[in-house]
Amino acid sequence: MSVSRFWRKIPQRYNLIGTRCTTCGRYFFPPRSLCPDCRRSGKIVDHKFNGEGTVVTYTVIRSASDQFENTTPYVLAVVELDEGPRLTTQIACPPEEAKIGMRVHSVFRRVAADGESGTIHYGTKFVPAE
Partner 1 sequence: MRDVAVIGVGCTEFGEHWGTSFRDLFVKAGALALEDAGVTGENLDALYVGNMSAGRFVEQEHIGALIADYAGLATNHVPSTRVEAACASGGLAFRQAVIAVASGMEDIVVAAGVEKMTDVGTGASVDMLASAADREWEGFAGATFPGLYAMIATDYMHRYPLTREQLAEVAVKNHENGAKNPIAQFRNRITVDTVLNSSLVADPLRLFDCSPITDGAAAVVVVPLERAREFTDSPVRVLASAQASDTIALHDRRDISTLDASVAAGKRAFAQAGLAHRDIDMLEVHDCFTIAEICAIEDLGFCKKGEAGRLTAEGATALGGAIPVNTSGGLKACGHPVGATGIKQIYEIVSQLRGEATGRQVDAEIGMAHNVGGTGATVVVHILGA
Q: Which residues bind partner 1 (CB under 8 A)?
A: 1-2, 4-5, 8-9, 13, 30, 32-37, 39-40, 56-69, 71, 74, 76-78, 86-90, 95, 100, 111-112, 121, 123
Interacting partner of 23 out of Zn ion, partner 1, none (Cβ under 5 to 8 A depending on kind): Zn ion
Question: What residues form DSSP beta bridges with 125?
Answer: 107
φ and ψ of 69, to 5 deg:
-65, -25
Alpha helix ranges (H) inside the chain: 3-8, 10-15
User: Cα–Cα distance between 129 and 50 in angstroms, integer?
Assistant: 13
What is the per-residue binding string for Zn ion in 48-87, x denoting contact by CB under 5 A?
----------------------------------------
